[in-house]
Structure 1
Amino acid sequence: MRTWRRLVDLVGAHGRAALVSVHAVKGSAPRETDARMVVRPDGGFFGTIGGGQLEMKMLALAREMLDEGRGPARIVDQALGPDLGQCCGGRVKILIETFDRRDLRDLEALAGAEAEGGLFTAECRFDESGRVRREVSSSVGDDAWTQWREVHGEVRRPILLFGAGHVGRALVLALAPLPFAVRWLDPREDAFPAHVPAHATPVLLKDVDAEIAAAPPDALVLIMTHDHPLDMAIAAAALKRGFPYVGLIGSATKRARFEKRFRELGLTEERIRSLVCPIGVPGIEGKEPAVIAASVAAQLLQTREKTVLPAAAETPPTLRGSPTVIPGPRSGARNP
């Protein structure tokens, strides 16, 4: 979720909005530090800090703060087990902030840093009124100014998806809410739908070798075009390049035929074995496009977890000069 862009839009449309952030975690908790949720004045929200009683309580508090008007931030120190009856057993500090149109300039600056892509670190402090002030770290970097650091933005793993047929379209939709950026390629000018999700960029395929050469080394490659010779050419080029994942739609018979041709082209046995074909999580046998897409999306997430991505900056939750910490609300409810 693009947190700051969402806040800019909500403040512009509704006049105010709240940001609920997991500021610090000790022990087991539903979400990690820097998980966030943006809240509208009517209680609608985007994102999650983990659901359950914790999220419900923080949503209610955020709405109360919005009703009171723009004011100081609050830190809620919440034990999950005894206070809320959640089984996680850890402890979290939740930071809740409110914004209105007076904050738009600051919000837009952070949205601009977010729009550049990737992760960035913000240096943070409480000002004399108890509101949070943030600066992108490269412009501050002063420990005397900084009380804590936050990581913002998102890392989307690049995917080259060759083919805009039924399965290709279903896969683009399945990947829409997931942390991937899809370069969607097909040589047919009329192959793409009229509306494409924001995470996917449709591209008319003209030169396979050029696309493979230009792709980032950590890209994941999926091949499902309408033409088997084209599939062959793409797969051979991708395997030769050595991407972490090269997936080809098709059966074991198709794989065997392709392997024979790969050997004729001089590909090593190690590269040939790395080809994923059939694609998808083993044990899911359905052949409907949506079923295949769900299975492949799960496999791509597995691959993403196994390979190294840019490391997030550390976010030590030191709170020199912070406002009074509010104990978390207690509840008699008990979850199983």
Structure 2
Amino acid sequence: MSLDLAYLARMAQRGAFTRVVVARAQGSVPREEGAAMLVWPDRIEGTIGGGALEYAAVEKARKGLTGIEKIPLGPAMAQCCGGAVTLAYETFDASSVARIAGDWHARPLGRTTNPPLALTRALSRARDRGETPPMLIGDWLIERVTAPATPIWIWGAGHVGRAFVSTLAPLPGLAISWADSGVERFPETTPEGVTPLIAENPADLVPLAPSNARHFILTYSHALDLELCHRLLTHGFTGLGLIGSASKWVRFRKRLGMLGHTAAQISRIACPIGDPTLGKHPQAIALGVATGLVKELTAAQAATERGTRAG
């Protein structure tokens, strides 16, 4: 139930698209309120649950449908879910994305041009009390505008780095920077929205990272890994994960201590990263690390929203 402006602006670079979002969900349905997909004439990004519902929505979006559509899944789609969904269809391009401002974006998707009193009151409670308004009031769609993208820095373009980037790149709300020592280290095609950074010594790139970035060190060199840990501990970060074994981490803790870092500082580094029960295949490591990151970001967002409501 949010609009990621950085993500939408990036998607608009491909051309105008129709965004289809689940604005209301009742009973048993394929996806929750806020689930969305973007539809171009030749491609789709995201999903509202697949199956007959999504197929029909894609066809309608490509035919230019805009507005609100209420769908009882049993009678209309012959689906056994038994629930009902209300879909909102809205066209975006670069200029319309750029015009979105404020914490909440409310707009009519029907014939109504004047906001109803219920909408005005809901937005007032959202801004004054932190109450989350319903996503749909009449034919007005209301969505929170997300905070700036979370900066993610991935150090190393080897097998694990590539697997990790391919896993994270489709997720909204992330600004991914990918660093290594040469262009030949990267795949021929970099995922959309990922910024490659190249330096003979990648550790020299550390000053470019914002202090609130989350870092994942996955390079081919233990010496480079250690230098990155050392520089990042001095530079500052929100999160830092290091790939490696338990024995590697014992050595690194000792060496980082010798470089002047306190035990409390060193303990902020997570090593080894990933879920060892998933195995050592690059995709398995990437899956474990990405799952942990998504859980962390989701928990942080929930804590922020609770604090907003409390305030």
TM-score, L = length of structure 1: 0.63
Correspondent of 2:105 among 116, 122, 135: 122
Matched residue type, 1:253: S
| 2:19 aligned with 1:34 | no
Measured against aligned partners, the alpha-carbon deviations of 1:202-243 in whole angstroms (never above 9, x if no partner) come to 112367676434423331111122322221111122234453
The equivalent residue for 2:287 is 294
The equivalent residue for 1:324 is none
Matched residue type, 1:94: L
Matched residue type, 1:173: S
Equivalent-residue separation in structure 2 for 1:72 and 1:278 (angstroms)? 49
Q: Which residues of 2 match residues 224-303 of structure 1 at below 5 A?
A: 224-286=218-280, 288-303=281-296
Q: CA 1:230/1:41 → structure 2, altered by over 3 Å: closer, same or farther? A: closer
Q: Is the 8 A contact 1:162 1:222 kept in 2?
A: yes
Equivalent-residue separation in structure 1 for 2:182 and 2:204 (angstroms)? 17
Equivalent-residue separation in structure 2 for 1:8 and 1:192 (angstroms)? 23
Matched residue type, 1:289: P
Percent of pairs identical after alignment? 31
Q: Is the 8 A contact 2:28 2:81 kept in 1?
A: no
Q: CA deviation at 1:76?
A: 0.9
Q: Which moved more, 1:226-235 or 1:171-180?
A: 171-180
Q: CA 1:64/1:123 → structure 2, altered by over 3 Å: closer, same or farther? A: closer
Larger radius of gyration: 1
Equivalent-residue separation in structure 1 for 2:65 and 2:170 (angstroms)? 33
Q: Which moved more, 1:210-219 or 1:269-278?
A: 210-219
Q: Is the 8 A contact 1:18 1:62 kept in 2?
A: no
Q: CA deviation at 1:37?
A: 3.0
Q: Which residues of 2 match residues 79-158 of structure 1 at below 5 A?
A: 85-86=80-81, 92-96=85-89, 107-113=93-99, 121-126=104-109, 128=111, 147-151=140-144, 156-158=149-151
Matched residue type, 2:161: G
| 2:33 aligned with 1:47 | no
Equivalent-residue separation in structure 1 for 2:261 and 2:13 (angstroms)? 51
Equivalent-residue separation in structure 2 for 1:186 and 1:66 (angstroms)? 40
The equivalent residue for 2:193 is 199
Equivalent-residue separation in structure 2 for 1:65 and 1:261 (angstroms)? 58
Equivalent-residue separation in structure 1 for 2:66 and 2:222 (angstroms)? 62
Equivalent-residue separation in structure 2 for 1:265 and 1:305 (angstroms)? 34
| 2:20 aligned with 1:20 | yes
The equivalent residue for 1:332 is none
The equivalent residue for 2:157 is 164
* Larger fraction in helix: 2
The equivalent residue for 1:60 is 56
Matched residue type, 2:24: A
Matched residue type, 1:110: S
Q: CA 1:108/1:166 → structure 2, altered by over 3 Å: closer, same or farther? A: closer
Q: Is the 8 A contact 1:34 1:151 kept in 2?
A: no
Q: Which runs of 5+ in 2 are unaligned?
A: 116-122, 125-138, 306-311
| 2:170 aligned with 1:177 | yes
Q: CA 1:233/1:203 → structure 2, altered by over 3 Å: closer, same or farther? A: same
Equivalent-residue separation in structure 2 for 1:66 and 1:152 (angstroms)? 26
